Structure 1
Amino acid sequence: MRDTFYQFVLRHRGGSASNPKHRFAERVFELHDFPKNTNDFYELSTYIEMQADDAIPASIFDELWEEYKTK
């Protein structure tokens, strides 16, 4: 069974605070309403856009999504 995007992102936790993927993962972990049980790009991207949080920029989401799709 494939991990959810949320589970995939959490693998980036614990890195350097200067790494934008690490910051993204840490912030997603803190967001209790993040859609944890979905792999739907549109649901996730809409959430990211609506959140408007500097710690979870859409550009980093896009990079992580591309990684996630190839895993």
Structure 2
Amino acid sequence: MRLSFYQYLMTQKNPSGADEVEQFANNAALDQAFPKQSQDFEEISHYLEENAMYLPSMTIFDTAWQRYLSKMN
């Protein structure tokens, strides 16, 4: 079974981590409206662009997405 992006991202949480993806995961965990079941890049990307003020750069999402794809393959 393939994890949703959110499920994968939650495996990257680290409250004291300095890695940008870890910080993204920490903040996404607090985001009640995050599309938690989605595996769709466009849906998640659009959501983050419109709603995720905690994400300073979409490049961080791109990095996390590449890690997600690598893990799922």
Same fold (TM over 0.5): yes
Matched residue pairs, number?
A: 70
Q: Does 1:42 align with 2:62?
A: no
Deviates more, 1:25-34 or 1:44-53: 44-53
Aligned residue for 2:61?
A: 61
Aligned residues: CA RMSD = 1.4
Same amino acid, percent of matched pairs: 34
Aligned residue for 1:9?
A: 9
Which letter does structure 1 place at the counterpart of 2:19? N
Q: Which runs of 5+ in 1 are unaligned?
A: none
TM-score calculated relative to the size of structure 1: 0.87
Which letter does structure 1 place at the counterpart of 2:18? S
Q: Which runs of 5+ in 2 are unaligned?
A: none
Moved segments of 4+, more than 4 Å:
none
TM-score calculated relative to the size of structure 2: 0.85
What is the CA-CA distance between 1:43 and the residue it aligns to?
0.3
